[in-house]
């Protein structure tokens, strides 16, 4: 029998508020947390994060929402290759917008600079929409944006899209090449993911039931169409697969933060 689900939005503090609510919940499977990469990275980037990855048990992956690489129309570049060459010739002279620390835009920008050897000044913004005026007027030169945010301004010609940070194109911007098509490896930009976790200690049979039901929903045409409309690529995964993914994420970001000297605040 269908059951109602109450969605309680707790935005703020880079996901910390909602995460702490879920951490205090009973481990009975009735309270789940919709989360993203910050679940892994926040404990690495904050001296007092208020939670640890071990406070939660993985349930299911929803999918990924690739960011679009956009640049200011004031730059004399039209392709990703041209931008990388242009930026490498001007180390530290270009500005890159970043979002919340540990969020997908921050992680993606750091990954891009690390993998390409490009050096840019990072400028923090509240979110991707706030970067758009700065890109248009040339104060900001580079940014990563969710496809749903980027699509209107790219189609209007206000900013230049160079590539989608994923191995494949996205439906919202069918004319923008994937990063692989643009000539760079898929790992050049971090691929943001969205997932569901529960309080640590939630019984395995309950976790397995949630995993099966969520993966079944991801096969629904209505759900697939909705995710497609917001630029999310659905990704079904077993509980064990999700556990391995989180281990890989921990190792990946620990290595990047160490190599780029990004320390907890």
Two structure tokens written together for 16: 């910390």
Residue with tokens 């490498």: 88
pLDDT tens digits for range 124-169 = 998 899 999 999 999 999 999 999 999 999 999 999 999 999 888 8
pLDDT of residue 240 exceeding 90, the answer is yes
List Cβ neighbours of 174 (8 Å cut-off, separation of 6 or more).
none
Sheet arrangement for strand 160-164: 121-124, 95-98, 142-146, 67-71, 160-164
206-221 per-position pLDDT tens digit: 999 999 999 999 999 9
Predicted TM-score (pTM) above 0.85: yes
The pLDDT > 70 percentage for the chain reads 98
Alpha-carbon separation of residue 234 from 66, 69, 117 (angstroms): 11, 21, 31
- Complete domains list, the chain, with CATH: 13-63+193-259 (3.40.190.150), 67-188 (3.40.190.10)
Residue 265: pLDDT above 90?
A: no
């Amino acid at each position: 029998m269908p059951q109602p689900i109450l969605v309680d939005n707790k935005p703020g503090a880079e996901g910390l508020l909602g995460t702490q609510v879920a951490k205090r919940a009973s481990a009975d499977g009735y309270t789940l947390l919709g989360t993203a990469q910050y679940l892994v990275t926040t404990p690495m980037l904050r001296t007092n994060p208020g939670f640890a990855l071990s406070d939660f048990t993985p349930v299911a992956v929803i999918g990924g929402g690739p960011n679009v690489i956009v640049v200011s129309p004031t730059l004399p570049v039209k392709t990703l290759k041209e931008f990388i060459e242009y930026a490498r010739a001007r180390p530290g002279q270009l500005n890159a917008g970043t979002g919340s620390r540990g969020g997908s835009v921050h992680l993606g920008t750091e990954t891009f600079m690390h993998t390409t050897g490009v050096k840019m000044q990072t400028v923090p913004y509240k979110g991707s929409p706030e970067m758009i005026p700065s890109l248009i007027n040339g104060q900001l030169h580079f940014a990563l944006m969710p496809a749903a945010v980027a699509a209107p301004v790219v189609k209007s010609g206000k900013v230049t899209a160079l590539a989608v940070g994923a191995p494949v194109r996205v439906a919202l911007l069918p004319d923008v090449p994937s990063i692989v098509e643009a000539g760079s490896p898929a790992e050049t930009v971090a691929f943001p993911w969205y997932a569901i976790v529960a309080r640590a200690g939630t019984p395995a049979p309950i976790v397995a039931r949630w995993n099966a039901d969520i993966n079944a929903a991801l096969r629904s045409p209505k759900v697939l169409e909705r995710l497609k409309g917001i630029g999310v690529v659905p990704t079904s995964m077993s509980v064990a697969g999700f556990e391995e993914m989180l281990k890989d994420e921990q190792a990946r970001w620990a290595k990047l933060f160490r190599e780029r000297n990004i320390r907890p605040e």
